Amino acid sequence: MESPRTLVIECATEACSIALVEGERVVAHDHRVLGRGHAEQLVPMIAALPERGKAARIAISLGPGSFTGVRIGVATGRALGVAWGAHVVGFPTLALVAAMVRREHGNQPVGVAMTGGHGEWFVQEFDTGGLPATDLLSLPPEAAARELRPPLVAGSQAEPLVAARGQGSALSLLPDASAFSALPTMLLTDRVAPIYGRAPDARPAAPRP
Protein backbone atom coordinates (compact mmCIF):
# COMPACT_ATOMS: atom_id res chain seq x y z
CA MET A 1 0.00 0.00 0.00
CA GLU A 2 1.34 3.43 -0.93
CA SER A 3 2.33 5.68 1.94
CA PRO A 4 -0.06 8.57 2.62
CA ARG A 5 0.93 12.12 1.75
CA THR A 6 3.01 13.23 4.71
CA LEU A 7 3.97 16.63 6.04
CA VAL A 8 7.40 16.30 7.67
CA ILE A 9 8.45 18.87 10.28
CA GLU A 10 12.05 19.17 11.52
CA CYS A 11 13.10 22.08 13.72
CA ALA A 12 15.05 20.41 16.53
CA THR A 13 18.35 22.14 15.65
CA GLU A 14 19.47 25.52 14.29
CA ALA A 15 17.99 24.37 10.97
CA CYS A 16 14.26 24.45 10.24
CA SER A 17 12.96 22.26 7.43
CA ILE A 18 9.68 20.94 6.13
CA ALA A 19 8.78 18.57 3.34
CA LEU A 20 5.63 17.30 1.70
CA VAL A 21 6.29 13.73 0.59
CA GLU A 22 4.39 10.95 -1.15
CA GLY A 23 6.19 7.63 -0.85
CA GLU A 24 9.76 8.38 -1.94
CA ARG A 25 8.77 11.48 -3.92
CA VAL A 26 9.34 14.91 -2.39
CA VAL A 27 6.43 17.07 -3.55
CA ALA A 28 7.78 20.27 -1.98
CA HIS A 29 10.53 21.17 0.45
CA ASP A 30 12.04 24.09 2.37
CA HIS A 31 15.21 24.09 4.47
CA ARG A 32 16.57 27.13 6.30
CA VAL A 33 19.37 27.58 8.81
CA LEU A 34 17.82 30.03 11.26
CA GLY A 35 19.67 29.66 14.52
CA ARG A 36 16.67 31.22 16.26
CA GLY A 37 13.17 32.22 15.22
CA HIS A 38 11.70 28.80 14.47
CA ALA A 39 8.37 29.75 16.04
CA GLU A 40 7.98 32.71 13.68
CA GLN A 41 9.14 30.91 10.54
CA LEU A 42 7.70 27.39 10.78
CA VAL A 43 4.00 28.04 10.18
CA PRO A 44 4.54 30.45 7.23
CA MET A 45 6.91 27.87 5.69
CA ILE A 46 4.19 25.21 5.95
CA ALA A 47 1.54 27.58 4.61
CA ALA A 48 3.67 28.18 1.50
CA LEU A 49 3.54 24.49 0.55
CA PRO A 50 1.02 23.18 -2.01
CA GLU A 51 -2.48 23.06 -0.48
CA ARG A 52 -0.93 24.86 2.52
CA GLY A 53 0.84 21.64 3.46
CA LYS A 54 -2.32 19.69 4.26
CA ALA A 55 -1.64 15.96 4.48
CA ALA A 56 -3.18 12.76 5.82
CA ARG A 57 -0.14 12.17 8.02
CA ILE A 58 2.20 14.51 9.91
CA ALA A 59 5.68 13.32 10.94
CA ILE A 60 7.56 15.34 13.55
CA SER A 61 11.24 15.28 14.48
CA LEU A 62 11.25 14.61 18.24
CA GLY A 63 14.87 15.48 19.06
CA PRO A 64 17.21 15.50 20.75
CA GLY A 65 18.33 19.01 19.99
CA SER A 66 17.21 22.44 21.08
CA PHE A 67 14.65 22.18 23.87
CA THR A 68 12.74 25.10 22.35
CA GLY A 69 12.95 23.86 18.77
CA VAL A 70 11.75 20.38 19.69
CA ARG A 71 8.77 21.77 21.59
CA ILE A 72 7.84 24.11 18.71
CA GLY A 73 7.85 21.26 16.22
CA VAL A 74 5.81 18.95 18.44
CA ALA A 75 3.25 21.63 19.34
CA THR A 76 2.81 22.73 15.72
CA GLY A 77 2.47 19.19 14.41
CA ARG A 78 -0.05 18.23 17.07
CA ALA A 79 -2.15 21.34 16.43
CA LEU A 80 -2.23 20.71 12.68
CA GLY A 81 -3.07 17.07 13.31
CA VAL A 82 -6.15 18.09 15.27
CA ALA A 83 -7.17 20.72 12.69
CA TRP A 84 -6.77 18.37 9.72
CA GLY A 85 -7.76 15.10 11.38
CA ALA A 86 -4.33 13.77 10.39
CA HIS A 87 -2.39 10.86 11.84
CA VAL A 88 0.55 12.29 13.79
CA VAL A 89 3.79 10.32 14.26
CA GLY A 90 7.25 11.15 15.51
CA PHE A 91 10.80 10.09 14.70
CA PRO A 92 14.27 10.58 16.26
CA THR A 93 16.29 13.49 14.92
CA LEU A 94 19.65 11.67 14.87
CA ALA A 95 18.07 8.86 12.84
CA LEU A 96 17.10 11.44 10.21
CA VAL A 97 20.75 12.50 9.91
CA ALA A 98 21.72 8.85 9.45
CA ALA A 99 18.99 8.56 6.78
CA MET A 100 20.51 11.53 4.93
CA VAL A 101 23.80 9.65 4.78
CA ARG A 102 22.14 6.48 3.49
CA ARG A 103 20.29 8.47 0.82
CA GLU A 104 23.44 10.12 -0.53
CA HIS A 105 26.20 7.63 0.30
CA GLY A 106 24.56 4.20 0.42
CA ASN A 107 24.06 1.70 3.22
CA GLN A 108 26.96 1.82 5.64
CA PRO A 109 27.43 2.17 9.41
CA VAL A 110 27.52 5.78 10.53
CA GLY A 111 28.04 7.64 13.77
CA VAL A 112 25.98 10.78 14.30
CA ALA A 113 27.32 13.66 16.40
CA MET A 114 25.11 16.68 17.05
CA THR A 115 25.35 19.76 19.23
CA GLY A 116 23.90 19.19 22.68
CA GLY A 117 23.54 21.37 25.74
CA HIS A 118 26.22 22.82 28.02
CA GLY A 119 29.04 21.99 25.65
CA GLU A 120 28.10 18.33 25.27
CA TRP A 121 27.40 16.43 22.05
CA PHE A 122 24.60 13.98 21.29
CA VAL A 123 26.10 10.83 19.78
CA GLN A 124 24.66 7.57 18.48
CA GLU A 125 25.68 4.83 16.05
CA PHE A 126 23.43 3.49 13.27
CA ASP A 127 23.78 0.24 11.33
CA THR A 128 23.67 -0.34 7.57
CA GLY A 129 19.87 -0.41 7.65
CA GLY A 130 19.59 2.94 9.43
CA LEU A 131 18.59 1.45 12.79
CA PRO A 132 20.20 2.49 16.08
CA ALA A 133 23.17 0.29 16.96
CA THR A 134 23.85 1.99 20.32
CA ASP A 135 21.91 4.04 22.83
CA LEU A 136 21.66 7.80 22.47
CA LEU A 137 24.21 9.54 24.70
CA SER A 138 25.00 13.13 25.68
CA LEU A 139 28.73 13.40 26.37
CA PRO A 140 31.55 15.93 26.66
CA PRO A 141 33.47 16.20 23.37
CA GLU A 142 36.46 14.11 24.44
CA ALA A 143 34.23 11.28 25.68
CA ALA A 144 32.08 11.51 22.55
CA ALA A 145 35.19 11.12 20.37
CA ARG A 146 36.07 7.93 22.22
CA GLU A 147 32.53 6.59 22.01
CA LEU A 148 31.76 6.66 18.27
CA ARG A 149 33.40 3.77 16.39
CA PRO A 150 32.22 3.97 12.74
CA PRO A 151 34.82 5.51 10.40
CA LEU A 152 32.13 7.79 8.93
CA VAL A 153 30.62 10.42 11.23
CA ALA A 154 27.82 12.81 10.25
CA GLY A 155 26.15 15.75 11.93
CA SER A 156 26.80 19.27 13.13
CA GLN A 157 29.76 18.13 15.28
CA ALA A 158 31.13 15.51 12.87
CA GLU A 159 34.19 17.48 11.83
CA PRO A 160 35.42 18.37 15.34
CA LEU A 161 34.74 14.81 16.53
CA VAL A 162 36.76 13.23 13.73
CA ALA A 163 39.53 15.75 14.33
CA ALA A 164 39.53 14.93 18.05
CA ARG A 165 39.84 11.19 17.53
CA GLY A 166 42.31 11.58 14.67
CA GLN A 167 40.77 9.19 12.18
CA GLY A 168 37.77 8.64 9.92
CA SER A 169 35.80 10.95 7.67
CA ALA A 170 33.21 13.59 8.48
CA LEU A 171 30.04 14.88 6.84
CA SER A 172 28.92 18.20 8.29
CA LEU A 173 25.12 17.97 8.17
CA LEU A 174 22.04 19.51 9.74
CA PRO A 175 18.79 17.52 9.68
CA ASP A 176 16.68 17.89 6.53
CA ALA A 177 13.03 16.83 6.36
CA SER A 178 13.39 15.87 2.70
CA ALA A 179 15.26 12.67 3.74
CA PHE A 180 12.19 11.34 5.56
CA SER A 181 11.53 8.54 3.08
CA ALA A 182 14.98 7.06 3.83
CA LEU A 183 14.04 6.55 7.50
CA PRO A 184 13.27 2.96 8.53
CA THR A 185 9.51 2.85 9.08
CA MET A 186 9.96 0.98 12.36
CA LEU A 187 11.44 4.17 13.85
CA LEU A 188 8.13 6.02 13.44
CA THR A 189 6.18 6.19 16.68
CA ASP A 190 2.66 7.19 17.68
CA ARG A 191 4.09 8.40 20.99
CA VAL A 192 4.73 11.99 19.98
CA ALA A 193 6.77 13.32 22.90
CA PRO A 194 10.09 15.21 22.91
CA ILE A 195 13.34 13.26 23.14
CA TYR A 196 15.56 15.60 25.13
CA GLY A 197 18.59 13.30 25.39
CA ARG A 198 19.70 14.72 28.73
CA ALA A 199 18.21 15.77 32.04
CA PRO A 200 16.50 19.19 32.13
CA ASP A 201 18.56 22.10 33.43
CA ALA A 202 15.93 23.19 35.93
CA ARG A 203 15.11 20.97 38.87
CA PRO A 204 12.00 21.14 41.08
CA ALA A 205 12.52 23.08 44.27
CA ALA A 206 12.83 20.96 47.41
CA PRO A 207 9.67 21.02 49.53
CA ARG A 208 9.80 23.29 52.52
CA PRO A 209 10.03 21.51 55.86
* 43 has pLDDT over 50: yes
Domain 94-172 bears CATH identifier 3.30.2320.20: no
Domain 6-92+175-187 bears CATH identifier 3.30.420.40: yes
* 209 has pLDDT over 50: no
C-alpha span between 39 and 57 (Å, rounded): 21
pTM attached to this predicted model: 0.92
User: What residues does each domain of the chain span?
Assistant: 6-92+175-187, 94-172
pLDDT for the residue numbered 2: 65
Q: pLDDT (tens digit, 9 = 90+) per residue, 58-82?
A: 999 999 999 999 999 999 999 999 9
C-alpha span between 196 and 186 (Å, rounded): 20
* 97 has pLDDT over 90: yes
**Are domains 6-92+175-187 and 94-172 of this chain identical in fold?**
yes
